Structure 1
Amino acid sequence: MSNTALNIVDIDNTLATQSPQQILRYALEQFDNIAISFSGAEDVVLVDMAHKIRPDIKVFSLDTGRLHAETYQFIEKVRNHYNIDIQIAMPNGPDVEALVKQKGLFSFYQDDHKECCGIRKIAPLRATLGDLDAWITGQRKDQSPGTRAVIPVIQEDKAFAGEGRSLTKFNPLANWSSAQVWDYIRTYGVPYNALHDRGFVSIGCEPCTRPTGPGQHEREGRWWWEEATKKECGLHAVNIDA
């Protein structure tokens, strides 16, 4: 293990006992070229917290072209509520066109979701992260016991770092529960996606997301036709591969 990796482990051990706000403050003090990846309830909590520390915090969101109308409305609501610029990262048009021409609009139901996600989500994310030194996500350990149970508060993102450069990833809400996220949202009047009021817990693209029923885990509403331990699109590949 490298000295850098050892240092990251030491920092994680320290940050793991601190609040999300303290973790965010550390991240923003260490990195100027840092941004929050924004899409869901956890992410907007981070936007709210970070905005109180650094009002000009960078925020980006992935527009796959297949999001719910409510999600687009949510993005605009957050943009206006905090008076911030949200960078919208979109997939490469010719790549989407080629996939649709070859396999149609719903190939993921027959194959799996990774090819479509690779074009619509992973490639735009990789391009966006290529201009950053660090990024902040809303991952929580209890979101997916199979892939997120051991995520640290800070990690080296080897999946998206690229050759010859480093990329640091912060997960300030790693140790929070969904209940804590929603307690914060209600306490501070934070905007949220209207789909949450209709039974959607984990929200992705419209064809690949549905409400969850009583007793179901939140990730069961994502890619429900696939095996339960594969509920990742690749945005957080470092969880598994690093």
Structure 2
Amino acid sequence: MLNKSKHQLVMGQILKDIYSDISISSLLGFKGGTCCYFFYDLPRFSVDLDFDLLIVNEENKQKVFDKIVGILGKYGEIKDKHIKHFTIFVLLSYGDADHNIKIEINTRELLPNIREQFEMKEYLGISLLVAKREYLFAGKLLALTLRGEVAMRDVYDIYYFAKNYWGIDENVINIVTSKSLMEYLNDCIIFVEKVNDNQIMNGLGEVVGSEKEKMWIKNNLKKETIFMLKSRLMVMK
């Protein structure tokens, strides 16, 4: 069972510990759904912490891994931890009846100037390197089709970003897919059109608010997301 208040408190404490450690604070750019929830008013809750490693080398990978494991160990049991080729992964259980917190740090060098995709923001007196809107939107569009399976939180977030007129970093799309933004948006439209109606609430039930909002998602999210993407595509032509 997800206790949102407790979960948010633990995530906030972890972020404070990470960005108070000067040995790693400049190496990690905060991104993902929780970043959008904390800094950009994303109206759904998010349960994990995602980062980019901004200076990629073996020394930094190991240093960040060791520091993150040490920080999370203060809050509970480390259920899993590893460094894979492009990911640092740590899974924290902070209570038997509570939801786990997953930390994933991307170590793939996508852009030569990745630091420029982040800017300093403040959370309760702590300065963090936070992803810019354009980079977040591009990353979410990429996640939509590249996960290998549909994640409805991606569709929800894309709708929210598009509704609020966020820009998209076309360079990120091009580097990852070798397609133009127009080509890739068309792929995204086709992908969302294929979502089955019985999939729409998957992964969203615990992280959105009222029953009224859940009903809106069930009845409208798919068609409204398609409309937003088609509208964006139309103004680009």
Q: Give the TM-score of the pair, scaled to structure 1.
A: 0.28
Higher helix share: 2
Higher strand share: 2
